């Protein structure tokens, strides 16, 4: 449904996307997981036709974004990161306006607005100005705008940014319900659990590069069955290097290392060697195979909110 | 239709139009403040209109003779208002001081001086009108007097005669303090004053409007042009705000093209301006009695092009700034400069030639000039074709530069 | 008190970090003053451009020449640009608004006058111009009156002259002698008024105890314009400075302030004092710009200082009272510019008070801005003493107190109840 090949985009000297390629199949929820500034929004902007890539091709529903931008945009629904709503207008007025830009009119337009308002539970507040809404309510209306015309493709750019966990779950439920009808979704987020719970396939993106792509299962296989152990303490790399011969060291520096270990027994042995060598250990953390551990393995850092 | 460019443009325009009226304070900015300006500027620059209150003149007559009363009589025929008595606590604005023995001195052909004393800061225009009125009254009295003196000289009395080119004696000496003689001069002078004038001036207005100009004729177009521009420039801030809030970006992701969005924004603003202009013109017509000229078509054409031009400026203004902070101050200054130099604040003929030419650098100058052609001269479309062309060109340039500079995202 | 001062210092620091809002408001009075000063020159008296008058002379006789010449005399020549045109060209040009007026001298003008038949000059005025055509009309009417008088006084001799030239052959010596005799007396009589100024007319401005040092200094138009525009700037700056009262509530920093051991009164006093300081600082800067950029003489130091303090106090007070009723940023945006501009319009900030017409002037005296502007003009232009502006000072300080006290009370009450 969506085919992105070697897309590059730079702002001056800063490369926002350094040649990304991926394919999203019809009816699939494709997650883009990465920290802030990874290039997720730029990718969404290019697929939605807002920005032109410096090079590479984007095909959506067998159309080229450069040639058929308008036709593509008609079948897409976009939910940007910002709450891009007219605060002075009511929720319903906002929906009517944005819906009309997608060709909805008359009864269809009103029906669509009623449907999405019902979906997000805002029917009762629909006639109040958006500025009187809470943050979570605004997010829900922001989402509704993208759902109004029942798009074949839905591009969601961090639609749950800055709201409480309860409201976030609520939004994820709405999206799940909405896409059960076969909508193709690209969903960007920097919340691991969202990607894990919602997405059929996930691309991990950082510094404008896709580091890995696949189903949750495929991704976690990248770290295999092994756990990641991270140790910090008061030691030098010279001191601990000889002690780490039986584990796969991923990263080592003075005062910290990260390594893959087959099981918890191996961790016990490792720590035993440290204690007997008199190496000071401050903190030990163990991550079982998960998206988080994959992320850490790929980027060398944790993905924080 | 649905989903077409036209449909999208009209929806964006309608949304922008609706948004403007959501803010209740715009009623003040769009309608009430301009009408207040029309009133204030109209009253303050009233020019020579029929409704002009006459310049006030208080008289301090220290003379006991008939010439001073003749002079005052002549003054009453001038278009100034002589104040006979002052209310308590009221200060005279201007005072004509007729010196003691004015009659005697004039009749004796001795030098005498009339003084017009005005308070500081009083209207210069009115003071000049008073000077001219006093001067004219003097000419009337003096020319009558000369005729009487000429007749007296012909009598060849030694008390008032000429030798070569010198004059000896005077009417006063001829009268020799004889009251009856003075009375006869008074009566004759009176009758001379009642003669029909030989030379008269018929003054008319050029153009078809044939209406007395008043301060409102300047202040109505002036306030209209300034406040339409102001609404538009402030509308530009809205564009910057939409960029910062992500609305422009979202618009860019809809099927709307860049041109659709720009046209929608332009038309939405023009719609607001039309309502504003209609209300202000009606206020001008019915509250302040200003004629709207003889060609409604030309007026509408000029206003459409003017709103196109300022709408383009609105988009340019909105595209120049990254954030809406501080834009308000700059918007006010931009409006003030363009309005003042374009001739919205004062009659443009009052300023020097360089500033009259400078006015044509601004669309406001062209709009004002065009409005004068229609409202003051009562001319038709042909007279404002250059104005239409120039304003449209201004608008197009603003729009193109604005479109080029406009960024969708912050 | 210390807490209030801490708040003042914090606000001043914040304002200095981000001064653009205040600076852009300061630019408004500077721009207005600059434009008016540049356009109308610095001399104060409006110097009108040369007035273009078109002339169609269908007579070309002695009297039409007299008219033309009297309009081109030295003093008028500077004022009037007389352009002779032919009939159609002239009428078309005035219809296009290319001149202030068109003067048409009819055929047989001179002959008719000599026959003592009434004649009429035609004056067509440019309807788009409010002032210049009126000046032309006055001038033409006055010239016509002079011509009228001249014809009456010299009608006899001129008639003689005409018959001499209309007769066959050269006039005889007797004819010429008689003509000279009859006109000589009238010439002498008129000469008395024309050359010896038997009656002179003097215009003078009533003087108000202008001190020696102030005398002789020409009026600087900037001194006339700046006080009004200054008030617009100061009121807008005050409202920006006090805007924090509603904004900090929305940001939540106000609630945080109250978590510190502070009284509501401290916070309000701090806010008002900092607004006073910011407005005062801007006022000083603007007056300095007036002094050094526009060359305004600032008058005597003591009245100047007292009056500026009173003005800043009044501005802060009025705006404080407004904020006593305003609860949000949006409401402030909607209400304050309206209040400020109305006060300024009525108080003579935009149009000189003297020019406003009696009714508006009466209303204007209820605007605090009037007292500030009028007093400041007296200080600048008349070098007023403290006693001269005592009424102004009394009203401004009084208004300051009458607005600050209830304004503070309202704000305090609101803050105590949680903003």
Task: Note the pLDDT tens digit of each residue in B63-97.
Answer: 888 888 888 888 888 877 777 666 555 677 788 88
Assess A275–B contact: CB distance below 8 Å, yes or no. no
| C39 contacts in chain B (CB < 8 Å) | 340-341, 346, 351-352, 355
3-state secondary structure chain C: CHHHHHHHHHHHHHHHHCCHHHHHHHHHHHHHHHHHHHHHCCCCCCCCCCEEEEEEECCCCHHHHHHHHHHCCHHHHCCEEEEECCHHHHHHHHHCCCCCEEEEECCCHHHHHHCCCCEEEEEEECCCCCCHHHHHHHHHHHHHHHHHHHHHHHHHHHHHHHHHHHCCCCCCHHHHHHHHHHHHHHHHHHHHHHCCCCEEEEEEECCCCCCCCCCCCCCCHHHHHHHHHHHHHHHHHHHHHHCHHHHHHHHCHHHHHHHCCCCHHHHHHHHHHHHHHHHHHHHHHHHHHHHHCCCCCCCCHHHHHHHHHHHHHHHHHHHHHHHHHCCCHHHHHHHHHHHHHHHHHHHCCCCCHHHCCHHHHHHHCCCHHHHHHHHHHHHHHHCCCCCCCHHHHHHHHHHHHHHHHHHHHHHHHHHHCCC
pLDDT at A304: 55
| C364 contacts in chain B (CB < 8 Å) | none
Partner-chain residue, chosen from B48, B118, B355, that has the shortest CB–CB distance to C206: B118
Partner-chain residue, chosen from A48, A80, A101, that has the shortest CB–CB distance to B11: A101
How many Cβ contacts (< 8 angstroms) between chains A and B? Answer: 77
Instruction: Provide the β-strand partners of residue B83.
Output: B58
Write the pLDDT tens digit of every residue in B2-44. 568 888 999 999 999 998 888 777 888 889 889 988 888 888 7
d(CA B15, CA B7): 12
Neighbours of chain A (3+ CB pairs under 8 A): B
Which tokens hold the place of A138? 């605004």
B278 vs C255, more confident = B278
Q: Torsion angle, CA of C137/C140/C141/C144, rounded to 10 degrees?
A: -160
Assess B383–C contact: CB distance below 8 Å, yes or no. yes
Quick one: average pLDDT of C34-61? 76
Neighbours of chain C (3+ CB pairs under 8 A): B
pLDDT at C217 over 60: no
Q: Do B202 and C131 touch (CB under 8 A)?
A: no
Q: Which SS3 state, helix, strand or coil, does residue A8 take?
A: strand
Residues 6+ apart with CB under 8 A from B384: B298, B301, B302, B370, B373, B374
pLDDT at C68: 84
Contact assessment for residue C95 and residue B206, using Cβ atoms and an 8 Å cutoff: yes
Segment among B76-85, B285-294, C137-146, C308-317 with least mean pLDDT = B76-85
Instruction: Provide the β-strand partners of residue C107.
Output: none
Give the single-character DSSP code of B256.
Answer: -
| B197 contacts in chain C (CB < 8 Å) | 118, 144-145, 148
| Averages of pLDDT over each 10 residues, chain A, 305 residues | 90 87 90 86 89 90 89 90 89 92 90 92 91 89 91 90 83 83 88 84 88 84 77 84 81 84 80 84 81 78 60
| B372 contacts in chain C (CB < 8 Å) | 97, 128
pLDDT at C81: 86
Q: Do A85 and B22 touch (CB under 8 A)?
A: no
pLDDT at A79: 92
Q: Do A80 and B246 touch (CB under 8 A)?
A: yes
| B406 contacts in chain A (CB < 8 Å) | none
Alpha carbons within 13 angstroms on the beta-carbon side of residue A28 total 17
| DSSP per position, A136-205 | HHHHHHHHHHHHTT--SEEEEESTTTT--HHHHHHHHHHHHHHHTTS-EEEEEES-HHHHHHH-SEEEEE
The residue among B255, B265, B324 with the most chain A CBs within 10 A of its CB, best to mutate, is B255
pLDDT at C215 over 50: no
Q: Do C351 and B162 touch (CB under 8 A)?
A: no
Give the whole-number percent of chain C exceeding pLDDT 70.
89
Distances (CA, A) of B49 to B36, B123, B372, C256: 20, 16, 16, 62
Instruction: Provide the β-strand partners of residue A261.
Output: A227
Give the pLDDT band (50/70/90) at residue C235: very high
Q: Do B122 and C354 touch (CB under 8 A)?
A: yes
Q: Which fold would CATH assign to domain C47-153? A: abc type-2 transporter like fold (3.40.1710)
Instruction: Provide the β-strand partners of residue B55.
Output: B80
ipTM score of the complex?
A: 0.79
Give the pLDDT band (50/70/90) at residue B50: very low
Q: Do B254 and A80 touch (CB under 8 A)?
A: no
Backbone angles phi, psi at A32, to 5 degrees: -115, 110
pLDDT at B210: 55
* For the ranges A60-64, B48-52, C257-261, the one whose mean pLDDT is highest: A60-64
H or E stretch covering A45: helix A40-47
Partner-chain residue, chosen from B33, B47, B132, that has the shortest CB–CB distance to C131: B47
pLDDT at B48 over 50: no
Q: Which SS3 state, helix, strand or coil, does residue B344 take?
A: coil
Q: Do A70 and B8 touch (CB under 8 A)?
A: no
pLDDT at B261 over 60: yes
Which residue of chain C has the CA closest to B359? Answer: C39
Q: Which SS3 state, helix, strand or coil, does residue A296 take?
A: helix
Partner-chain residue, chosen from A73, A83, A129, that has the shortest CB–CB distance to B254: A73
pLDDT at C144: 87
Contact assessment for residue A195 and residue A33, using Cβ atoms and an 8 Å cutoff: yes
Which tokens hold the place of B70? 């003749």
| C196 contacts in chain B (CB < 8 Å) | 111
What is the CA C2 to chain-centroid distance, rounded? 46
H or E stretch covering B401: helix B385-405
How many Cβ contacts (< 8 angstroms) between chains B and C? Answer: 294
pLDDT at C219: 61
Segment among B126-130, C89-93, C255-259, C294-298 with least mean pLDDT = C255-259
Write the pLDDT tens digit of every residue in B180-201. 888 888 888 888 888 888 888 8
Q: Do B351 and C189 touch (CB under 8 A)?
A: no
Question: Average pLDDT, whole number, for chain C?
Answer: 82
The residue among A66, A77, A84, A159 with the most chain B CBs within 10 A of its CB, best to mutate, is A84
The CA angle C369-C371-C376, to the nearest 5 degrees, is 95
Backbone angles phi, psi at C212, to 5 degrees: -55, -45
End-to-end Cα, chain C, rounded Å: 21
A168 vs C75, more confident = A168
Instruction: Provide the β-strand partners of residue C83.
Output: C54
Scanning B79-98 for CB atoms below 8 A from C yields none
Q: Please give, rounded to a whole number of angstroms, the shortest distance from the CA of B246 to a CA of chain A.
A: 5
Give the pLDDT band (50/70/90) at residue C317: very high
pTM for the structure as a whole: 0.79
H or E stretch covering A251: strand A248-253
Contact assessment for residue C56 and residue C107, using Cβ atoms and an 8 Å cutoff: no
Q: Please give, rounded to a whole number of angstroms, the shortest distance from the CA of C64 to a CA of chain B.
A: 12
pLDDT at C218: 53
| DSSP per position, A82-149 | S--S-TTSBHHHHHHHHHHHTT--HHHHHHHHHHHHHHHT-GGGTTSBGGGS-HHHHHHHHHHHHHTT
Give the pLDDT band (50/70/90) at residue C1: low
Neighbours of chain B (3+ CB pairs under 8 A): A, C
pLDDT at B361: 93
pLDDT at C290 over 70: yes
Q: Which SS3 state, helix, strand or coil, does residue B258 take?
A: helix
Q: Which SS3 state, helix, strand or coil, does residue A7 take?
A: strand
C-alpha closest to that of C243 among C197, C214, C278: C278
Q: Please give, rounded to a whole number of angstroms, the shortest distance from the CA of B232 to a CA of chain A.
A: 19
C-alpha closest to that of C211 among C305, C306, C308, C300: C300
Residues 6+ apart with CB under 8 A from C361: C353
Q: Please give, rounded to a whole number of angstroms, the shortest distance from the CA of B20 to a CA of chain A.
A: 9
Could you tell me where in chain C the CATH 3.40.1710.10 domains are found?
Answer: 47-153
The residue among B203, B237, B292, B341 with the most chain C CBs within 10 A of its CB, best to mutate, is B203
pLDDT at C209 over 70: no
Question: Average pLDDT, whole number, for chain B?
Answer: 85
d(CA C143, CA C123): 13
Assess B25–A contact: CB distance below 8 Å, yes or no. no
């Amino acid at each position: 449904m969506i085919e992105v090949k070697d897309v590059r985009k730079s702002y001056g000297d800063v490369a926002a996307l350094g040649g990304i390629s991926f394919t999203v199949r019809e009816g699939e929820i494709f997650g883009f997981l990465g920290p802030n500034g990874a290039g997720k929004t730029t990718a969404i902007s290019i697929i939605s036709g807002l920005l032109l890539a410096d090079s590479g091709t984007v095909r959506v529903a067998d159309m080229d974004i450069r040639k058929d931008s308008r036709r593509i945009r008609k079948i897409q629904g976009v939910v940007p990161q910002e709450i891009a709503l007219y605060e002075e207008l009511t929720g319903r007025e906002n929906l009517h306006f944005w819906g009309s830009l997608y060709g909805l009119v008359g009864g269809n337009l009103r029906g669509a607005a009623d449907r999405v308002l019902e979906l997000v539970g805002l029917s009762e507040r629909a006639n109040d100005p958006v500025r009187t809404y809470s943050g979570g309510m605004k997010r829900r209306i922001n989402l509704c705008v993208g759902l109004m015309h029942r798009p074949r493709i839905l591009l969601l750019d961090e639609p749950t940014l800055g709201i409480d966990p309860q409201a976030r779950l609520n939004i994820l439920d709405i999206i799940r319900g909405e896409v059960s009808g076969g909508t193709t979704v690209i969903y960007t987020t920097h919340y691991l659990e969202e990607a894990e719970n919602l997405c059929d396939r996930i691309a991990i993106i950082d510094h404008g590069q896709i580091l890995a792509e696949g189903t949750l299962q495929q991704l976690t296989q990248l770290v295999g069955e092994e756990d990641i152990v991270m140790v910090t303490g008061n030691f030098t790399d010279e001191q601990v290097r000889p002690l780490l011969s039986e584990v796969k060291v991923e990263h080592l520096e003075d005062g910290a290392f990260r390594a893959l270990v087959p099981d918890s027994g191996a961790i016990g042995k490792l720590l035993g060697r440290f204690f007997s060598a008199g190496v000071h250990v401050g903190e030990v953390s163990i991550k079982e195979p998960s998206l988080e551990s994959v992320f850490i393995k790929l980027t060398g850092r944790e993905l924080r909110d | 239709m649905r989903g077409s460019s036209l449909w999208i443009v009209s929806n964006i325009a309608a949304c922008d139009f609706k948004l403007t009226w959501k803010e209740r304070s715009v009623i003040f900015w769009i309608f009430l403040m301009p009408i207040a300006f029309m009133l204030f500027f109209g009253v303050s620059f009233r020019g020579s209109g029929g409704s002009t209150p006459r310049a006030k003149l208080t008289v301090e007559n220290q003379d006991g003779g008939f010439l001073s009363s003749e002079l005052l009589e002549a003054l009453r025929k001038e278009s100034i208002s002589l104040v006979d008595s002052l209310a308590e606590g009221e200060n005279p604005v201007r005072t004509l001081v007729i010196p003691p023995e004015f009659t005697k001195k004039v009749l004796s052909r001795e030098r005498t001086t009339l003084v017009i004393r005005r308070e500081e800061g009083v209207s210069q225009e009115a003071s000049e009108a008073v000077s001219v009125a006093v001067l004219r009254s003097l000419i009337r009295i003096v020319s009558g007097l000369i005729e009487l003196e000429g007749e007296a000289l012909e009598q060849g009395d030694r008390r008032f005669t000429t030798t070569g080119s010198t004059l000896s004696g005077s009417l006063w000496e001829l009268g020799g303090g004889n009251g009856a003689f003075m009375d006869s001069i008074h009566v004759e002078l009176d009758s001379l004053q009642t003669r029909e004038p030989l030379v008269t001036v018929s003054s008319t207005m050029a153009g078809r409007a044939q209406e007395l100009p008043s301060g409102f004729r300047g202040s109505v177009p002036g306030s209209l042009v300034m406040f339409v521009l102001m609404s538009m420039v402030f509308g530009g801030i809205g564009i910057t705000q939409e960029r910062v809030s992500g609305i422009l970006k979202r618009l860019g992701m809809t099927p709307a093209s860049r041109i659709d969005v720009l046209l929608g924004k332009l038309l939405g603003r023009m719609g607001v301006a039309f309502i504003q202009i209609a209300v202000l013109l009606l206020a001008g017509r019915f509250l302040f009695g200003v004629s709207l000229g003889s060609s409604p078509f030309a007026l509408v054409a000029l206003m459409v092009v003017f709103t196109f031009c300022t709408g383009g400026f609105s988009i340019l203004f909105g595209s120049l700034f990254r954030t809406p902070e501080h834009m308000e101050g700059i918007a006010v200054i931009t409006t003030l400069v363009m309005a003042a130099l374009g001739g919205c604040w004062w009659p443009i003929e009052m300023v020097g030639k360089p500033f009259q030419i400078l006015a044509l650098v601004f669309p406001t100058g062209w709009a004002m000039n065009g409005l004068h052609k229609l409202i003051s001269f009562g001319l038709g479309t042909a007279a404002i074709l250059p104005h239409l062309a120039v304003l449209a060109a201004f608008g197009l340039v603003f729009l193109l530069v604005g479109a080029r500079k406009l960024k969708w995202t912050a | 008190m210390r807490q209030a001062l801490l708040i003042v210092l914090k606000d001043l620091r914040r304002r200095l970090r981000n001064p653009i809002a205040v600076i852009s408001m300061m630019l408004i009075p500077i721009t207005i003053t600059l434009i008016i000063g540049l356009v109308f020159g610095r001399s104060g008296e409006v110097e009108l451009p040369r007035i273009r008058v078109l002339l169609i002379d269908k007579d070309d006789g002695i009297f039409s020449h007299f008219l033309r010449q009297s309009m081109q005399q030295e003093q008028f020549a500077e004022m009037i640009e007389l352009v002779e045109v032919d009939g159609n060209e002239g009428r078309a040009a005035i219809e296009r608004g290319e001149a202030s007026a068109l003067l048409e001298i009819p055929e047989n003008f001179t002959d008719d006058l000599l026959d003592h038949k009434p004649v009429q000059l035609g004056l067509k005025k440019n309807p788009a111009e409010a002032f210049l055509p009126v000046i032309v009309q006055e001038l033409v009417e006055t010239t016509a009156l002079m011509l009228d008088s001249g014809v009456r006084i010299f009608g006899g001799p001129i008639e003689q002259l005409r018959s001499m030239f209309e007769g066959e052959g050269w006039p005889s010596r007797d004819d010429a002698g008689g003509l000279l005799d009859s006109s000589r007396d009238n010439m002498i009589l008129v000469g008395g008024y024309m050359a010896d100024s038997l009656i002179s007319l003097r215009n003078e401005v009533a003087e108000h105890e202008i001190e020696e040092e102030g005398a002789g200094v020409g009026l600087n138009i900037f001194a006339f314009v700046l006080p009004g525009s200054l008030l617009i700037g100061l009121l807008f700056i005050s409202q920006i400075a006090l805007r924090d009262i509603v904004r900090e509530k929305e940001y939540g920093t106000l609630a945080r302030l109250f978590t510190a051991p502070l009284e509501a009164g401290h916070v309000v006093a701090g806010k008002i004092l900092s607004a006073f300081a910011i407005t005062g600082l801007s006022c000083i800067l603007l007056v300095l710009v007036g002094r050094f950029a526009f060359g305004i003489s600032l008058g005597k130091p003591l009245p100047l200082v007292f009056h500026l303090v009173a003005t800043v106090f009044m501005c802060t007070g009025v705006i404080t009272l407004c904020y006593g009723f305003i609860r949000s940023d949006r409401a402030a945006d909607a209400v304050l510019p309206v209040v400020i501009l109305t006060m300024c319009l009525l108080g003579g900030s935009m149009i000189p008070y003297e020019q406003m017409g009696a009714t508006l002037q009466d209303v204007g005296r209820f605007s605090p801005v009037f007292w500030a502007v009028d007093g400041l003009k007296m200080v600048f232009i008349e070098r007023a003493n403290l006693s001269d502006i005592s009424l102004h000072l009394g009203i401004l300080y009084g208004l300051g107190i009458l607005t600050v006290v209830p304004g503070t009370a309202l704000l305090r009450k609101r803050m105590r109840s949680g903003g």
